[in-house]
Homo-oligomer: A and B are copies of this chain.
Amino acid sequence: MNEKYDQLQTILTELAHLEKAVGVLGWDRNTKMPKGGAKARAEVVATLNRLHHERFTSDEVGKLLEALEPWAADQDADSAERRTVEYTQWAYERQTKLPADFVVERTKKLSAANQAWQTARQEADYTQFAPHMENVLDITLRLADFFKPYDHPYDVLLNQYERGMSTQQVQTLFDFVRGHQVELIAAIAEQPQVDNSFLHLHYPIDKQLKAGEEIVRAFGYDFNQGRQDETTHPFAANLGYGDQRITYRADEHFLNPYLFAIMHEAGHAMYEQGIPEALWGGILYRGTSSGVHESQSRLWENLVGRSKPFWAWYYPRLQAHFPENLGNVSLDDFYKGVNRVAPSLIRVEADEATYNLHIMLRMEIEIALLGGEFTVAELPEVWNERIHKYLGVTPEDDAQGVLQDVHWSWGLYGQFPAYALGNIIGAQFWGHIEKALPDLDAHIAKGDFKPLHGWLVDNIYQHGRKYPPGELIERISGERLNGDAYVAYLKNKFGAIYDL
């Protein structure tokens, strides 16, 4: 082995430990912390993040990477050593490009923007947020400029979440998928609507939690290495090897929010539970990209959790938890009910067939704003016009429209595409899983998720962040990322449900 590589690993481990400490502080803040602790907690987190940044961008790391570059190039392309050096180089270059005073300025402006957004959203008053949105746009463009030359400033932002993907690639993919989805939704709108009123009865939360635990345990989520807790905005958190937690929000008058979110978050958490201990403490100990991560959460939530075989197994059990509500609802009606398509205003409440359009709208707007195609002042108008064009709905106010998501106020340009990419990547994987596991549906219909979980561990989870998303997709499917499987899946599934 290489002594300098060991030195690098020692530093990366220190950084990983700082990240996990920040992770625990964040999980705690979002699930347990009394509200009085917010201010001090933010200070503690800021200190740990500063220590992390200082250490990672130190000359020591730069020199080690320089010395290790030729050595790493000689290592096996699949080795953790080579991939560690490559990923660290990539991340080091990104972090060192931003001057310290710019980082401070950005953090302050985003913090102010986020506060303004909270009030603006509550009061459904975009004018309060607009000047901050100008600041965010300005600082985002300046951030991109540190990475010149680029083909497109959006590449810089997208790459924070999808290493190696280009704006053009994603745009082409989305253009293809969008056409089919708009067509599908229009066709569905002509058909009689399915009933899902039984999902809106009284579902006591303790029973929901029990059902959720049964389901995700069967999927393969390990409660010896995790737990579920209530929060405001559900998330999954990897708090160190052997500790991957999921969080939920439950509505006692609507079954979906808890049930499908817990499958979703368990999908994220199982990905991280499947990364081997050998990678713990290194820079590869994490899912490879936001999009691939979403492919795993959406796979368990939708491709499994909203499928016929899944409900063939679980529906009798769910009925046993809620006999008053579901005793007289048939499996087929239940299946159709949880797959009901109804264009709506709010992204996080969108159904499987319309969800991507919410994302594509946001990506288009981000790119157009960066390119100066319209102004920040015109944004609500553009939003309302396009959401009507895609989904036929019109927001009553900006809280239901342009102000609904937190992302822009935090400067998270470039993150939205991951959510739609996740759906598309998941379907592309699924096609290959079905070939590899011909009895997959039969297993799922018996509640046996071991073959599926095992395949995901072997082909995706175990690699952690070793392969960039594009490379991982090609390794698995032998093809570049494309929307064929996803479009076919949607048409097939909703064609059957809506008799198209």
- Identify the A interface with B (CB < 8 A): 13-14, 17-18, 20-21, 24-25, 27-28, 32-41, 43-44, 47-48, 51, 222-227, 229, 239-243, 245, 280-281
Contacts and interface: CB of A to CB of B under 8 A. Distances in A.
A299 to B, nearest CB: 24
A230 to B, nearest CB: 13
Nearest to A239: B37
B224 A39 contact: no
Given A28-B24, A51-B51, A227-B32, A17 B38 contact: no
**Pairs of residues from A and B, 4 with the lowest C-beta to C-beta distance, nearest first:** A37-B243, A40-B240, A36-B242, A36-B225
B48 A225 contact: no
Contacts of A280: 40
Contacts of A43: 17, 240, 281
Contacts of A245: 34
Given A20-B40, A24-B25, A25-B21, A32 B34 contact: no
Contacts of A222: 36
Nearest to A43: B17
Given A24-B25, A25-B24, A44 B227 contact: no
A44 B20 contact: yes
15 contacts: A17-B43, A17-B44, A21-B25, A24-B28, A24-B44, A32-B227, A32-B229, A34-B227, A34-B242, A36-B243, A37-B241, A37-B243, A38-B242, A40-B280, A43-B281
Nearest to A227: B34
Given A17-B48, A34-B242, A41-B239, 14 more contacts: A13-B47, A21-B21, A21-B25, A21-B44, A28-B28, A32-B227, A34-B223, A34-B225, A34-B226, A34-B245, A39-B241, A39-B242, A40-B240, A51-B51
Contacts of A229: 32
A18 B36 contact: no
Contacts of A223: 34
B243 A14 contact: no
**Copies per complex?**
2
Contacts of A48: 17-18, 21
Contacts of A243: 33-34, 36-37, 40-41
A52 to B, nearest CB: 11
A239 B24 CA distance: 13
Nearest to A51: B51
Given A28-B28, A240-B40, A242-B39, A18 B47 contact: yes
Contacts of A33: 239, 243
Given A32-B32, A51-B51, A41 B225 contact: no
A111 to B, nearest CB: 18
Given A17-B47, A21-B48, A47-B17, A34 B240 contact: no
A18 B50 CA distance: 12
Contacts of A226: 34, 36
Nearest to A29: B24
Nearest to A48: B21
Contact of A14 (B40, B47, B240): B47
Given A25-B21, A32-B227, A242 B37 contact: yes
Contacts of A224: 34-36
Contacts of A281: 43
A40 B51 CA distance: 20
